[in-house]
Amino acid sequence: MSNARTLVSAARRSFELQIAVITALQGTVIGSQDPEAHQLAEFRGKLQRELHVRDSEDHFRSCALNGGHTAFIDRQDLRRTLQQFVDSTDKIVLIVDGEQDTGRSYTYELIRYLGQFKGFRPVVVPLGVATTAENVLQLLSRLLRADLNGIPGRHSDSFLLAGAVDVFNRAVACSERPWLVFDDCDKLDQNSDVWDFIGNLAEVIYQNVSPYYVIPRLVLLGYQGDGRSMPYPLRHSVLHDKAREAERADVRAFFNQHFTVAVPRRESGEPYAEADIPGLVDVTVEEVMRAVRRKAGNGESYMRRLCTAVEAVIHVDQ
């Protein structure tokens, strides 16, 4: 029973694993005349249909995330870069830079969404002015269920390298492929030992690339051009994205796509005709931009105000 619970718990992580377990049961444990055989066949068929639907969608182009509640506006360059990052076997680090309040950390929303479909789990490490490498190690030890007992003390010259090796080993052992997401990198001093730890971790990953297991990835959000550069051996293993504020044209492209996927309805409940959608997009864009201007000065960044206004439209439409 203990083994059965462990197997079922592990299988719940993906459609593919559930289908594999059910197929094994159908072929060996349960005969075709068993009363539960029909239920298993139905459940397997349902999972296969859901898997087909999932794989037929281009999740990199999704604009309404998390069940349609979160808007992700444009960032086409980021979408292409993320697809390359997911599909490649030799890219280790993704760096997202740009001016403050342009949506660098906003990138995490798309990464988190994609993880559900692409087999990885983002592990977020928030950074601040006072963050040290020891803080980061302690946090990762909890998030990755690691144990720091075997790592030398903080005054040892090998502390950061040993910590990087430990984090790498724990990440590789995780059943779900982890992406280690370091957020607000621009809050770190250039001389912070966190940069030394990140550099050590990147090198450890680079030196252990293998076709036999999936390596963890590093994502640096809020990275600044004058920040610490990655170790030289990684020069061909780093991808870059530059965040920017979304403009009116980006909002228009968002609603052109969204209203095609989720056709809005009139007050009567009737869906808008296809010919009416362009006019509806024009009105919607104007109202969203007006709402963004109206809330200027309330302490929120432009991108946050824009996302709030766009999501208000999505929620009304639902």
pLDDT of residue 52: 73
Q: What is the mean pLDDT of residues 52-58?
A: 70
pLDDT of residue 91: 93
Render pLDDT for 226-270 as a digit per residue (tens, 0 to 9): 667 899 999 999 999 988 888 999 999 999 988 888 888 777 778
Return the minimum-mean-pLDDT range out of 26-30, 245-249, 280-284.
26-30
pLDDT of residue 127: 95
168 vs 33: which has the higher pLDDT? 168
- Confidence band of 14 (pLDDT split at 50, 70, 90): confident
The pairing of beta strand 217-223 with beta strand 70-71: unpaired
Mean residue pLDDT across the chain: 85
Q: Does the pTM exceed 0.85?
A: no
Q: How far apart are CA 311 and CA 255, in angstroms?
A: 11
243 Cβ contact partners less than 8 Å away, ≥ 6 residues apart: 75, 78, 96, 97, 98, 99, 102, 103, 104, 106, 107
Return the minimum-mean-pLDDT range out of 92-96, 135-139, 192-196, 220-224.
220-224
Strands, E, within 68-210: which ranges?
A: 70-71, 93-97, 120-126, 177-183
27 vs 130: which has the higher pLDDT? 130
| Token reading at 77 | 């360059």
Q: 31-35, 124-128, 263-267, 292-296: which has the highest mean pLDDT?
A: 124-128
For the cut 60, the answer to whether the pLDDT of residue 31 exceeds it is: no
The percentage of residues in the chain with a pLDDT greater than 70, rounded to a whole number, is 91
pLDDT of residue 183: 93
Please report, to the nearest 10 degrees, the dihedral formed by the alpha carbons of residues 133, 131, 183, 206 taken in order: -10
**CA distances, 83 to each of 110, 198, 239 (Å):** 11, 23, 11
Q: What is the mean pLDDT of residues 118-126?
A: 91
Q: What is the mean pLDDT of residues 17-22?
A: 88
| Sequential DSSP letters for 96-125 | EE-STTSSTTTHHHHHHHHHHHHTEEEEEE
- The answer to whether the beta carbons of residues 71 and 307 sit under 8 Å apart is yes
For the cut 70, the answer to whether the pLDDT of residue 45 exceeds it is: yes
